[in-house]
Structure 1
Amino acid sequence: MKKFLLLVGIAVEIFVSAQDIKKDSVVVDTVKHWSVLGKNTLMFNQAAFSNWVGGGANNVGWLAGIDYNLTYEKDKDLWENIIIMGYGQNNTKGVGTRKTQDVLNISTNYGRQFSKSWYISSGASLQSQFSAGYEDGNNPEAKKISNFMAPGYFNMGLGVTYRPDDNLTVTLRPVNGRWTFVLDTDLQKAGNYGLKADGDSSLLQFGFLGNAVYKVKLMENVNLTNTASVFSNYLDHPERLVLAYGAVLNLKINKYISSNITVDVLYDHNQIKKTQLKQTLGIGLAYTLNNGVKRSDRKDNQWWIKK
């Protein structure tokens, strides 16, 4: 009997110890520092006419794009990387093929937290396009006005980042270098994109850069992402602000199909002394990758929510 009780006591002790080990392992495994949020899209549009009194031209188009956000969060470190690429074409009978979308945008920003939601940060970004653009609705027979890295914009600077949650990020860089590249020799003319002389391939500016991203969930499966930026050159006409605003309205139909409406507004005195506007609408295949749990998603870090 004594031996039996001794064996039961040992078994109970082992069981309790195993439960403690299991509990500790669960706590450790819930911490993830890398998160990946990505969206891949492929959209098509088509129209056909036959003896249609209202008129119209047969056309077919496509648009492909990726939008990825890779974020590392650990202790006081925050490192966010954004990759946005998109390209699209439309072929209309009697007109030919025209480019409808062309964007290349890569950025990285590292911050070290010094207060709640505030980070000392530094970062860089690259903006350009993939292929040539022309006047007269991207007509290849018209005058060429842009190309890959013509212009291309590279920013690098130091400042502060405010990020209370995943829906709002504001970065202010009072120290920022902005390089404009024009690598197409046909476009290296004085005045093009601010170039000072014929044959110049780049222009360096030094000033203030501000960026903001604000995401809003309007309703279930309907999300709006707003982006805005402003740049002022300290050394030459600081009043000539480079202003940009973009909005992406995403309407998710199901897991694999969604619709996007985009609006982009830009004013850059060195490009053209007019406000530029671009709008697109598309519906098609979309696949979203969401892998990882951001630190700011965890309840024990959401200090701004009343518990």
Structure 2
Amino acid sequence: MKKICLFLSLCALSFYSAQAQDDSMKKLREEAAKKLKEQEIDSGRVWYKGATLGLTFNQGSLTNWAAGGDKLSLSLLGTINLMANYKKGRHSWDNNLDLAYGYVNTTSLGSRKNEDRIDLTSKYGYEIGKNFYLSGLFNLRTQFDKGYLYPADTTPELISQFFSPAFIVLSPGIDFMPNKEFSLFVSPVTARWVVVMNDSLSAKGSYGVDTGKHVKSEFGAYMSATWNKDITKSINYRSKLELFSNYKHNPGNVDVFWTNALTLKVSKLISAVVSVDMIYDDDVKVFENKETGVLGPRLQIKQTIGVGLTAKF
């Protein structure tokens, strides 16, 4: 009996020892892999590339609904976010392309787009101190398709289309990047061009261009802040804020472009997305004051909530 107990004790001891050794080896492997990854990041000898693809579909219908509303509504939104970042020694080069297009159809309003965005940013930096980079930034922001105003008593009015407008920014400055999640770029000397290629819109002087002209050049101060944070394994928050002050005309009226997206991962492919976008441009005077009847700029706010497919690579 004692021999059996001794044998069982040895077996148990061997099992726990093997288990502990396996856990220890697993931990060592994970630490080695993490260290190797950190060395690769520090060495900057590789490109880091990624893509996030999203497709959101919403459908609603009403039958004998006493409160009223559209009998049928359909909406579809597609998003693509591509990034390619490179770092070697003191040199860094970050590239990001953000694309979005959405369409909605209702029985009362018909079909119209509810999202349209092309946003390309390329930024080169040379490290001059801990977390500080002497950088040059290029940004292009425009849209894919035509956009309209929909007055209640008149036909839709064309107000935008591809490269009407387009905003092009070329800016040298200082970039503060304490980690991979946050970046703050500041420049007191920035060139910006507003492009309106559509002849009818340029004839109206839309978006601040001179009447009949297609390009308006501006010179001023520019700031761009980006934050991409994984709050938890299933929750991500992404924000981009751009501010521009035109030295040539009303420098106190700062242009604002701010996008925010909160993504909640439900499963591997299904996510819920809440987005809030805000734009203020002093040269966009298409909004009428109901009290005075005078056209002028307004803070533009767009908010969307959707559930759909999301794939991240």
User: Given the two structures, how large is their TM-score scaled by the length of structure 1?
Assistant: 0.81
Aligned-pair distance for 1:121? 0.5
Q: 1:234 aligns with which of 236, 242, 247?
A: 247
| Structure 1 residue 138: Cα displacement | 11
Deviation by residue 1:97-133 (Cα, 9 ceiling, x = unmatched): 1111101100100001011111110121100111111
- Asked if residue 43 in structure 1 is aligned to residue 56 in structure 2, the reply is yes
Q: How far apart, CA to CA, are the structure 2 residues paired with 1:279 and 1:213?
A: 19
Q: CA deviation at 1:190?
A: 4.7
Match of 1:174 in 2: 188
Name the residue aligned to 2:310.
286
What is the 5 A alignment of 1:1-307?
A: 31=40, 33-57=46-70, 58-136=72-150, 141-197=155-211, 199-272=212-285, 273-289=297-313
Q: Give the whole-Å Cα distance in 2 for the aligned partners of 1:61 and 1:246.
A: 21
CA contact (8 A) 1:253 1:259 kept: yes
Query: Cα deviation per residue 1:217-256 (whole Å; 9 max; x = unaligned)?
Result: 3334112122111111122221121122221111111111
* CA distance, structure 2, for counterparts of residue 138 and residue 89 of structure 1: 20
Q: Would you say how many aligned residue pairs link Structure 1 and Structure 2?
A: 264
Deviations 1:266-301 (A, max 9, x none): 111001321111111111011001xxxxxxxxxxxx
Amino acid in the other structure paired with 2:197: L
Between the aligned partners of 1:28 and 1:275, the Cα distance in structure 2 is 44
Q: Which residue of 1 aligns with 2:291?
A: none
1:56 is displaced (CA, Å) by 2.7
Equivalent position of 2:28 in the other structure: none
8 Å Cα contact 1:191-1:270 kept in structure 2: no
Contact 1:102–1:130, Cα closer than 8 Å, also in 2: yes
Change (3 A) 1:181 1:242: same
Identity of aligned residues (%): 28
Quote how far apart the aligned CAs of 1:181 are. 0.3
1:293 alignment counterpart: none
Q: Counterpart of 2:303 in structure 1: which amino acid?
A: Q
Contact 1:228–1:244 (CA<8 Å) still a contact in 2?
Answer: yes
**Aligned residue identity for 2:304:** T
| Structure of higher RCO (CA pairs closer than 8 Å, 6+ residues apart) | 1
Matched to 1:103, the amino acid is R
Alignment gaps of 5+ in structure 1: 1-22, 290-307
- Secondary structure, in 3 states, of the residue corresponding to 2:299? strand
C-alpha contact 2:95 2:121 (8 A) present in aligned 1: yes
TM-score by length of structure 2 reads: 0.79
Q: Deviations over 1:186-239 (max 9, x none)?
A: 101354211122x10010001111000123333341121221111111222211
Stretches of structure 2 lacking an aligned partner (at least 5 in a row): 1-31, 286-296
Change in 2 beyond 3 A, CA 1:137/1:265: farther
- The aligned amino acid for 1:208 is A
Deviations 1:142-179 (A, max 9, x none): 11111111110011111111101111101112221100
Q: Structure 1 residues 167 and 252, CA, compared in 2 at 3 Å: closer, same or farther?
A: same
Letter in 2 for 1:83: L
Aligned residue type for 2:62: F
- SS of structure 2 residue aligned to 1:188: helix
Q: Pairwise CA RMSD of aligned residues?
A: 2.3
